[in-house]
Structure 1
Amino acid sequence: MKVIICGAGQVGWQIARHLSGERNDVTVVDSNPDLVRRATDSLDVQGIAGFASYPDVLDRAGARDAEMIIAATYSDEVNMVTCQVAHSVFGINRKIARIRSQSYLQSIYSDLYRRDHMPIDVVISPEKEVASAALQRLSAPAAFDTEVFMDGKAQLLGITLEDECPVVNTPLRQLTDLFSTLRATVVAVRREGTLFAPEANDQLFVGDDCYVFAHVDDIPRTMEIFGKKQQKQERVVIVGGGNVGLAVAQSLEARADRIRVKVIEKNRLCAERAAEALERTIVLNGDGLDAALLAEAGIARSDAMLAVTDDDKTNMLACVRAKSEGCNYVIALINDPTLVPLMAPLGIDAYINPRATTVSSILRHIRHGRVRAVYSIGDAEAEVIEAEVLSTSPLAGRRISEIEFPEGVLVGALRKGKDVIRPLGTTRIDEGDVVALFALATDVPEVERLLQVSIDFF
C-alpha cells in the first residue's frame, strides 16, 4: 500500500515507523527538513520537505498513485486543506486528519466533513482520545495501563506485581486450573525492560508488569487475585483546565455516581472558560505546584489527581507534590517517552502517552481486515488488535490450538454473539466471532495475514 504521511513530528514518525516496518511504500512530508531527514535516516521511507497542503509538494510525494493520506501536522487547517487537495486534485481514496480545535469537532458541524464539503474520511482528535484514556485510568486505579475492548465488555489491564500478590511464582497453566471460572488471560509480561508473550509454563515474579485481558464483570476479582485493591473514586483533582482537563471534568460531571471534581488552571482566561463550561465543578485559578492551592483543593482527601497540562515536567512535579500532600493515586500526562522510566521512582501511579493514544486511533483505521480496535503498547513494542473474523480468514473454523500463531501472539479474548469468553486451546473460532489478539511488533504483519480479507473490505 502506498501511503503519504504529512507531518514528521512524534505522531507522524511513529505511524511511519509502523507502516514502513510492514513493507508499505511510505513517503513523509514536512516543512521542517530536519524532521524529514530524521525520518529518512532512521526509517525505510522516502521524504519530501515542503508544505503538505501545496499540490506540487503532494505531487512530488507521489499523490497520483497513493491509496491513503494521513494529515498529522501541527495545524488543523493545513491538515484539512491537505485532505481537500488530496481528494480534489489527486483522487486519493482514504483521507485521515488529526484535528485539535474543539470548534471543528462540535457535533452540530459534523456535516463539514462530508465528501461534497471537506472530504475527510476519519477525523482523529488527540484531546478526546487522551481524555478517554484518562477516564479509563480512573476506572481501574490499581492498574498502570488500561484499554477497553469488545464494546466495553472486556478490558486490558496493566498490573505491576508486588510482594503481596498471591500468584507470584505460580505457572500460568496452574492459574487456569486454580481459577477455572475467571474470565482473564495474561497476554504479556514485561520483565527487566523486555516485553514478551508468556507460555503456559512461565511463572510470574515480583516486579513483573503483566498485561491481563479480563471480562469487565471479572475485573474486581482479577485485581484481587493479582494483589490489588479496588478503590472508589469519589473526589478527583485535575491540574490543567485546557481541552483535555475540561473534557475529563465534563465526562466526570455527566456520570451518575456524582464524583466531586476540582480543576486547577494557571491561565486566567483558560480557567474562566472552564468555569463557564462546567456546572458542578469548582475551578481554581493558580499554579498546580502551589502547596497552599492544592490544600485548598482538598488534595489530602482526594482519591485521585490527574496532571494534564501541556508541560511534562509540570505534570510530573504536580504528581509528586500531590503524593507528598497525601493523595493516594496520581496520573501524569507524559509526551516524552524517555521520561517514563522516572514514573516509578517518583511514585507516580500511572501515565498517559498522547502519542500512543493518537497512534492507536490512526492504526485502527489503516489495518487490513475487519479491524475494530488497535491499542499500541509501550514505545510501539506491541499491539492489541480486535477484529471480526471473516470467512476468508485462516482463523475461521479452526480451534485455537490448531492455528500456527507466531511466538509473540496470544489470543486475549473472544466474543461469540453477545458473550465474551476466555479463549482456551479447544475453543473454536468461527466466522463472525470477534477476536482480540496481542502481538509483538515484529509479528503484526502475520496477524494481519491471519485476519486478511478481500480488498473490498479495506
Structure 2
Amino acid sequence: MRIVIAGAGEVGYNIAKDISDAHEVVVIESDEEKIVDLERLNVETIIGNAANVEILKKAEVKKADIFVAVTGNDEVNLLSGLAAKKLGAEKVIVRVGNPEYVDRPVIKNHPLGYDILLCPQLVLSTEIAKLITIPGAVYFASIEDLEVVELQVSENSPIAGKRIAEINIPEGIIIGAIHRGNEIIVPKGEERIFPGDRLAVIGWSGQTGIARRIMGIPVVKNVVIFGGGTVGSYLARMLDRSSLNIKLIDSNERRCEELCSMLRRTKVIYGDATDIDLLIEEEVGKSDVVVAATDSDEKNLLSSLLAKNLGAKKAIARVEKGKYVELFEKVGVDVALSPRKVTYLEVMRQLRLMRVETLGDYEASIAVLEYVASKKLDGKRIREIKFPENTIVGAIKRDGKIIIPKGDTEIKLGDRLYILTSWKNVEKIDKMLS
C-alpha cells in the first residue's frame, strides 16, 4: 500500500515507524526538526504545508491507498483531507481536536467526503465512560457481541491467591490472558492469580458482569471529574443520564456557568482540582472513581494522586504525552489513557484484514484481533497453528454462537476468531493468517 501521512508529531511518527517496513510511506511535515527525526525511518519526506495542493501533488496523493491527516492543526487536517480526496486518494482519515467540527466521536463516510473523521477527545470520553459503568474495569474492548474486559485483582478479592482451576467460572466466560507487570501470560488451569494482576476476561456482551461478581468488585456510585473541557464535559453529559452521583470541578468560572446550564444531575463546582482543602470539603476521598481530564498532564497526575491519597478508590487520568502513560500508572494512577492512541489504532485497523482492538496503551498492551478464517485455516485444529508466544484464540464465533475453544477445536471456513496476544505480535499474526 501507498500511505501518505500529513504530520510527523507523536501519532504521525509512530504510524510511519510501524508501517514503513511493510508499506510505501510518504510523510508531509512543515517542521524541519521533525523531518530530521524521520530520517532514521524507511520513509519519503516532504517539507511543506499539507493543505497546499502543490505539496499534495508532490507527494503523489493521487496514488495513495490511504491519506492520514494528523497534524496539530484541525483546519490543515480538514483542508488537506478534502484536497487529497479530490486528487484521488482512495481512503481519507482525518483527526480533529475541536468538537465543533463533529457531533460524535467517529464519523464514517462523512458528507464532505472523508472516509473517517474522528475526534480523539470524544472517543477518549467514551472509553472512560465504559470503564466507569463497568465496575472494576481497567480497560475494555468490544467486537460485535463479544466483550473483552481487563479487570484488576485487588488484595481482598476472593480469587487472589487461587489457581484458575479453583475458580468457579461459568460456561461461556474465559480468562484469556493475565497482564502481570510488563508480562502477558496465557494462563493454564494451574496458573495462580496474585493481587495486582489484570485479567483479560472474554464473554458475550453483558456476561462479563458475572466475572466481576466472582472477583468481588463493588458497584460504582460516586464519580468526580476534574476539568470541564472537551473530555470532561462530554463525559459528564454521558454520565448525567445515569443514576450515578457526579461532581465536576473546573477552575474557569464562566465554563462552570455553561456546564450548569448543560447538565441536570451533575453538581458543578468552581475551584482548583489541586486544592486539597476543596477536595476535602467536597469529600472527593469518598468517591469510587475520580477522572482527571484537564488539559494539563501535570495537573492530572497531581489531582489523581491527591484524590487517591484522600481515599478515592480508583483514578483515571487523561495523558496527552504518550510517554507519560507508563509513568502515571507506576506512581499510583490506576488507568492512564492517551487520546493519541485512538488515531493510531484507527489507522492500524485500516491497514489490516483483521480488526484490532486493544486493552491498554498500544505499546505495552494486550491486543484483541478479529480474523475471519479463510481456506488456509479451514479444517485445522487450534493446536496445529503455530502462533507466536503469548497468543491464544480466546473465542470463536460460528453461526451466531460463541465457542470457547480448546486445543482440539477444529476451525471452519468463515469462523470469526478472536485472538489475544501482545501488541508486538500483531504484525506476525497478520502475515501468518492473511
TM-score normalized by structure 2?
0.88
Shift of residue 307, structure 1, vs aligned partner: 0.6
Query: Partner of 1:352 in structure 2?
Result: 337
Is 1:76 equivalent to 2:74 in the alignment?
yes
Q: Do 2:224 and 2:287's aligned partners in 1 also have CA atoms closer than 8 Å?
A: yes
* Range with greater deviation from structure 2 (31-40 or 410-419): 410-419
AA paired with 2:10? Q
**5 Å matches for 1:369-380?**
369=353, 371-375=354-358, 377-380=360-363
SS at match of 1:12: helix
Q: d(CA) in 2 for partners of 1:393 and 1:367?
A: 21
- Residue by residue over 1:338-377, the C-alpha shift from the partner in whole angstroms, topping out at 9 and shown as x without a partner, is 434444554322222222233223322x1322x4442264
Q: d(CA) in 2 for partners of 1:317 and 1:421?
A: 45
Shift of residue 53, structure 1, vs aligned partner: 1.2
Query: Partner of 1:148 in structure 2?
Result: 141
SS at match of 1:428: coil
Q: d(CA) in 2 for partners of 1:400 and 1:111?
A: 35
Shift of residue 395, structure 1, vs aligned partner: 3.0
Name stretches of at least 5 consecutive residues in structure 1 with no aligned partner. 453-458
Query: Partner of 2:208 in structure 1?
Result: 219
Query: Partner of 1:37 in structure 2?
Result: 36
Name stretches of at least 5 consecutive residues in structure 2 with no aligned partner. none
Q: d(CA) in 2 for partners of 1:205 and 1:106?
A: 43
For the structure 1 residues 213 and 435, does the alpha-carbon distance in structure 2 shift closer, same or farther, using more than 3 Å as the test? farther
Q: Do 1:309 and 1:333's aligned partners in 2 also have CA atoms closer than 8 Å?
A: yes
Query: Partner of 1:426 in structure 2?
Result: 408
SS at match of 1:347: coil
For the structure 1 residues 300 and 201, does the alpha-carbon distance in structure 2 shift closer, same or farther, using more than 3 Å as the test? closer
Shift of residue 76, structure 1, vs aligned partner: 1.6
Q: d(CA) in 2 for partners of 1:310 and 1:303?
A: 23
Shift of residue 245, structure 1, vs aligned partner: 0.7
Query: Partner of 1:448 in structure 2?
Result: 430
Is 1:271 equivalent to 2:256 in the alignment?
yes
**5 Å matches for 1:57-456?**
57-89=55-87, 91-106=88-103, 113-114=110-111, 118-143=112-137, 145-151=138-144, 153-159=146-152, 162=155, 166=159, 168=161, 170=163, 174=165, 179=169, 181=171, 183-191=173-181, 193=182, 195-198=183-186, 200=188, 203-204=191-192, 206=194, 209-215=197-203, 216-223=205-212, 228-255=215-242, 258-344=243-329, 346-364=331-349, 366-369=350-353, 371-375=354-358, 377-381=360-364, 384-389=367-372, 392=374, 394-452=376-434
- Residue by residue over 1:57-108, the C-alpha shift from the partner in whole angstroms, topping out at 9 and shown as x without a partner, is 223333242211110111221111111111222x01010001222222137x
AA paired with 2:150? L
* Range with greater deviation from structure 2 (305-314 or 393-402): 393-402
For the structure 1 residues 99 and 409, does the alpha-carbon distance in structure 2 shift closer, same or farther, using more than 3 Å as the test? same
SS at match of 1:380: helix
Query: Partner of 1:27 in structure 2?
Result: 26
Question: RMSD across aligned C-alpha pairs, in angstroms?
Answer: 2.9
For the structure 1 residues 274 and 11, does the alpha-carbon distance in structure 2 shift closer, same or farther, using more than 3 Å as the test? farther
Q: d(CA) in 1 for partners of 2:295 and 2:368?
A: 29
Shift of residue 164, structure 1, vs aligned partner: 5.7
Q: d(CA) in 2 for partners of 1:292 and 1:125?
A: 35
Percent sequence identity over matched residues?
25
Shift of residue 160, structure 1, vs aligned partner: 5.2
For the structure 1 residues 250 and 58, does the alpha-carbon distance in structure 2 shift closer, same or farther, using more than 3 Å as the test? same
AA paired with 1:321? L
AA paired with 2:7? G
Q: d(CA) in 2 for partners of 1:208 and 1:324?
A: 18
* Range with greater deviation from structure 2 (215-224 or 323-332): 215-224
Shift of residue 332, structure 1, vs aligned partner: 1.2
- Residue by residue over 1:394-429, the C-alpha shift from the partner in whole angstroms, topping out at 9 and shown as x without a partner, is 234433222232224321222233333322223333
Query: Partner of 1:4 in structure 2?
Result: 4
Shift of residue 217, structure 1, vs aligned partner: 4.4
Q: d(CA) in 2 for partners of 1:207 and 1:135?
A: 25
For the structure 1 residues 27 and 385, does the alpha-carbon distance in structure 2 shift closer, same or farther, using more than 3 Å as the test? farther
Q: Do 1:395 and 1:450's aligned partners in 2 also have CA atoms closer than 8 Å?
A: no
For the structure 1 residues 106 and 344, does the alpha-carbon distance in structure 2 shift closer, same or farther, using more than 3 Å as the test? closer
SS at match of 1:156: strand
Q: d(CA) in 1 for partners of 2:20 and 2:335?
A: 30
Shift of residue 315, structure 1, vs aligned partner: 0.7
Shift of residue 208, structure 1, vs aligned partner: 6.3
Query: Partner of 1:456 in structure 2?
Result: none
* Range with greater deviation from structure 2 (98-107 or 29-38): 98-107
* Range with greater deviation from structure 2 (156-165 or 128-137): 156-165
Q: d(CA) in 1 for partners of 2:166 and 2:25?
A: 44
Shift of residue 18, structure 1, vs aligned partner: 2.3
Q: How many residues align?
A: 431
For the structure 1 residues 140 and 430, does the alpha-carbon distance in structure 2 shift closer, same or farther, using more than 3 Å as the test? same
Q: Do 2:395 and 2:404's aligned partners in 1 also have CA atoms closer than 8 Å?
A: yes
Q: Do 2:322 and 2:340's aligned partners in 1 also have CA atoms closer than 8 Å?
A: no
Q: d(CA) in 2 for partners of 1:219 and 1:448?
A: 28
